[in-house]
Amino acid sequence: MIRRVFFFALVVCTTLAHAGDESRKGTTGADQLLVPVGARSIATGGAFLATLKGVEAIYYNPAGLAATQKSEAMFSYMSYVADINISYFAVSAYIEELGTFGLSYKKLDFGDIPVTTFQSPDGTGATYSPGFYTFGLTFARAVTDRVTAGVTAKVINETILSTSATGFAVDFGVQYKFQGNLAIGVAIKNLGTNMQYSGNDLFARTNIPNTANASPAGVYTPETEPFQMPSWFELSASYNIDVGNMNSFILGATFRNNNALDDQMMFGLEYQLLRTFSLRGGYETALKNASSAIYGINFGAGVEYTVDNSLQVSFDYAFRSVKEFPTDNHVFTVKLGF
């Protein structure tokens, strides 16, 4: 029965994913949703949707939040591109017999940008900083000992001075573990409303034709174009190979049907030594126009330590190569489990 429910959900997810308009490619906004989080997942190319656990799974597959029966906290920091930095914070609370709840917050830091005008094209001396953030509320639950499911509702906001756009979206995810070491996962991301900029900064004054010279200027507001959020469907598989009693090797692959960009494939691997140290690698590629892809090879490492059998502490680092910018991405993540 559980398998029937899972595969029915898979068919429904696939149908929804391919219901998008192909003309959306390259026309969506809210690109902050495309920026991944978490050093472990970035190091493995985002390929572990089927087995990713805890708060780091909120962004990739909310079903993974229920794969570990404990509460967690996570902070991640990324030096992105064009001097943009990204901070991400997530916390979860496991409630027995009910499920796991999670809160997440992602913020883009653009730094201080000089204010320019027609009269002062080199700057007025003032500065501003755009505010781009995503706030999410997640609920996940273990349906059986093999199936977990989760959903995230989130608010996306982009603010530039007194002009802003706000949207609402949901993510869905399922993880299924077969007998043995194979697992598969399905996720649908960013199904939501359109976004549209509005605010006082759009107001403009102009002279009204056919009026006296002393007449006051008229005020008008240009109508901005609504834009859709990037949404995608992902199907993932992972396989775990035990090497002795204390070591393991994980292989993962994820296919992304993307309504904002070309379809993508992500591949990842992780070797865990003594259940403490981890070495990771990953690769991202587009199925079309692969030579124009910005990102390529990723790698990273991590260490995990348990204090007094109650507090679990982990530190992860990831490097992601960037082809079209002078600086690559560096990601640092700290997680606590209790």
Which structural domain, as residue segments, surrounds residue 11?
Answer: 2-115+126-337
206 has which bridge partners?
A: 218
In a domain, 121, yes or no: no
Identify the pLDDT of residue 16.
45
Residues of the chain above pLDDT 70, percent = 91
Instruction: Please tell me the pTM assigned to this model.
Output: 0.88
Q: What is the CATH number of the domain that holds 287?
A: 2.40.160.60
Residue with tokens 């509702």: 153
Residue 261 lies in a domain: yes
- The answer to whether the beta carbons of residues 8 and 108 sit under 8 Å apart is no
pLDDT digits (tens, 9 = 90+) for 275-310: 899 999 999 988 887 777 788 899 999 999 988 878
pLDDT at 20: 46
Cβ neighbours of 136 (radius 10 Å):
21
Model pLDDT, residue 82: 84
Give the integer Cα–Cα distance in Å for 255 and 70. Answer: 29
Supply 190's token pair. 């960013």
120 inside domain: no
pLDDT at 22: 59
Can you give the pLDDT at residue 291? 78
213/337 Cα distance (integer angstroms): 71
> For the chain, how many structural domains are there in total?
1
pLDDT of residue 204: 76
Q: What percent of the chain stands above pLDDT 90?
A: 64
Residue 313 lies in a domain: yes
Question: Is 65 within 8 Å of 150 (Cβ atoms)?
Answer: yes
- 64 phi and psi angles, rounded to 5 deg: -70, -15
Q: What is the 3-state secondary structure (H, E, C) of 227-274?
A: ECCCCEEEEEEEEEEEECCCEEEEEEEEEEEECCCCCEEEEEEEEEEC
Is residue 26 in a domain? yes
Residues of the chain with pLDDT below 50 are: 1-20
DSSP-derived 3-state class of residue 112: coil
Q: Are 208 and 220 in contact (CB under 8 A)?
A: no
Name which of 62, 52, 309, 275 is nearest 187 in CA terms: 62
Residue 140 to residue 306: CA distance in whole angstroms: 25
Does a structural domain hold residue 182? yes
* Residue 77 lies inside a defined structural domain of this protein: yes
Per-residue model confidence (pLDDT) at position 5: 42
What are the CA-CA distances from residue 196 to residues 29, 165, 221 (Å)? 10, 5, 14
